[in-house]
Chains A and B, each alone.
Chain A
């Protein structure tokens, strides 16, 4: 049973560049959430995708955007990178049940560590 996978594992970018991070959900899951974890902090919710649409969004600027594909995999895009975007980006997946409510238990991938210089 494949768990949540993310790529790449590490990435170095410079200020102003753009970056794309990728996530494949756990087998059987259809809902993907992205979190940003700054060093020494707890993860912060960025957004959640279901049925190829953004269903919820946290307090992140429009520079952060995403996409979900028909196979439920997802991408996180960050434009105009700032030094403060350096963090571990975590993808989590779950299953949305009948009635449109996502299961509360989310399974996390190993993360992509982004360093912006």
Chain B
């Protein structure tokens, strides 16, 4: 079946550090890939998405590239801020139209 694996957290960085959160997937067919972010006490917000191989999704300084050859969709940001502290979820969707999520990575940014 379809699945998503994220790097285990928690991840703690200093402000302005470079961020990478790894995500790999297993899927039948050609999934679309997503990163969602969950701030404390809130629901999920779509951060970015990519729908086909080599697409790059970007938003708010975050980027992720759909790599079919390595079945990966790693999240990156060049300079993180305290306000980026949250839980980040990698997810995929296929023709079945249901999102399959990874377990989440908690990110804490210290000033």
In the complex, A45 Cα to B45 Cα: how many Å?
16
Check: B61 CB closer than 8 A to any chain A CB: no
Find chain B residues with CB under 8 A from A40 CB. 103-104
Closest 4 A-B residue pairs measured CB to CB?
A: A42-B101, A108-B44, A45-B98, A110-B43
Min Cβ gap B53→A in Å is 16
The number of residues on chain B lying at the interface, defined by a beta carbon within 8 Å of a beta carbon of chain A, is 23
Q: Is the CB of B43 within 8 A of A108?
A: yes
Q: Is the CB of B99 within 8 A of A105?
A: no
The number of residues on chain A lying at the interface, defined by a beta carbon within 8 Å of a beta carbon of chain B, is 26
Q: Is the CB of B45 within 8 A of A108?
A: yes
- Footprint of A on B, CB under 8 Å? 4, 32, 36, 42-46, 49, 51, 89, 91, 93, 95-104
In the complex, A16 Cα to B17 Cα: how many Å?
49
Q: Is the CB of A90 within 8 A of B98?
A: no
Q: Is the CB of A109 within 8 A of B43?
A: yes
Q: Is the CB of B46 within 8 A of A105?
A: yes
Find chain A residues with CB under 8 A from B4 CB. 42
Q: Is the CB of B43 within 8 A of A58?
A: no
Chain B: which residue is nearest A6 at the CB level?
B43
Find chain A residues with CB under 8 A from B44 CB. 43, 90, 92, 108
In the complex, A45 Cα to B99 Cα: how many Å?
7
Check: A1 CB closer than 8 A to any chain B CB: no
Min Cβ gap A99→B in Å is 12
